[in-house]
Amino acid sequence: MTTALDQDAIVRYEPRGAALQLFKARDSELVIAGPAGTGKSLAALFRIHLTALHNPGIRCLIVRKTAVSLASTTLVTYEEKVAKDALARRIVTWFGGSAREAAGYRYSNGAKVNVGGMDKPEKIMSAEYDLVFADEATELTINDWEYIATRLRNGVLSWQQQIAACNPAHPTHWIKLRCATGEAKMLTSRHRDNPAYVNADGTYTPKGADYFAKLDKLTGVRKARLRDGAWAAAEGQIYELWDDAVHLVDPRTIPDSWTRWWTVDFGYTNPFVLQCWAEDGDGRLWLYREIYRTKRLVEDHARHILRLVRRCKTCCKSKAADHDCHTCEACELEWTEPRPRAVICDHDAEDRATLERHLGMGTQAAHKSVSDGIQAVQSRLKPAGDGRPRLFIVRDALVERDLDLEEASLPMCTAEEVGGYVWAVKPGNAGGLKEEPVKKDDHGCDAARYMVAERDLGVAPRYRVAG
């Protein structure tokens, strides 16, 4: 569609399939779900934008689990692909927020589109809305979703609507179940719905051919979900209790009183993994920082790690343009967080020695027994007496994305490994009994197992002091 509005904004968009259905539906809860690259979020953003342009005085909300992820993804799409012309003409302007009102976009006709994350819901949830769009909605909990629904009472539109866009997750995810019971309506989005990737005759555009070549490299449950659009769980998945909505938590301040631990799984062609864990007063483990990186030497990882946890306390005040406090012998460095109680490593002797030398810290060999380590992790994933599990991964724990892994469509952090971490069944194993994990895309899961084994299996310390 090409639409010229009273304010002279030009909007060009071609909705197909589920995207076209999205523009016609008036259901109070609407989910548009499908594989990666079908244009789900784009369709929902156009729905918000066009509704705001045509309805003076309405109030809308664009939300995601965290404000940081919203700003770096969804709002980039909104500004560059949806409202670019309206922003250029000042028909839409950015409002940075105030003590009383959430940040968002202000339309010249009085419509407002607030934005924010459910990690900081105070301002966005203090207002009432006509239309809400939740991107990457599988990150939300059912409580988040129902909380948002309580704010749909602005009444300027004759209909109020809550829209979710997501890739499929496991078959028992609350979104899938909510649609199955009829509480929400699901629109199934397909790749043919995206004109950027698929022509009207079904052939791929050049951009689409490149994109699908990447999706075709996926394997297992990630391929089923992101390429084929299936609400699937991996056959033989080891950590069946893992739930992104439960075990992935919002970033938080980690108190200095919590004990720190580091775990390391060495790699070069395969990822090198460093996990920084904090143990709270109740014995729960929180993975709050992670390096997950290929093609970097151990000594370079060590230098990078130290830069993350130290700062200059007393600077030499050098005026040199290339002055680096972390390498300057005249500068005094201090730690910005408690030192780890132990650095627990894979058993590679050469890599351990290199890491110790460049960190200036001793390391401890990990408990490597796989079966009991996996059972210990499974136990921590179960709800404890207070209904909460005893192991969490903090969202945005990943320090940097590995573009080579992204290009190869491989997991880029531990949280992305868990769904595809499966049992290997050896030929001749009667009854297909579980024996050991498939040794693929398991580097973060191994490092997490080292951590849990250290705390729960009574492993005797095996320290070695760097010379």
Q: Report the relative pairing of strands 248-249 and 112-117 from DSSP bridges.
A: unpaired
Percent of the chain scored above 70 by pLDDT?
94
Burial of 127 (0-12, 13-18, 19+ CB in 10 A): middle
Residue from 225, 279, 272 nearest 256 by CA: 279
- What CA–CA distance (Å, rounded) separates 315 from 174? 53
Mean pLDDT for 164-182 is: 92
Q: Are strands 59-64 and 131-134 parallel, antiparallel or unpaired?
A: parallel
Residue 219's pLDDT is 82
What pLDDT is stored for residue 433 in this prediction?
Answer: 45
Arithmetic mean of pLDDT over the chain: 91
Per-residue pLDDT tens for 324-376?
999 999 999 999 999 999 999 999 999 999 999 999 999 999 998 899 999 99
* pTM greater than 0.75: no
Cβ–Cβ under 8 Å, residues 274 and 301: yes
Q: Does position 36 have pLDDT exceeding 90, yes or no? A: yes
Domains of the chain by start residue, with CATH? 2-214 (3.40.50.300), 244-464 (3.30.420.280)
Least trusted range by pLDDT, from 232-241, 257-266, 292-301: 232-241
Q: How confident is the model at residue 435 (pLDDT cuts 50, 70, 90)?
A: low
**Average pLDDT for residues 213-231, to the nearest whole number?**
89
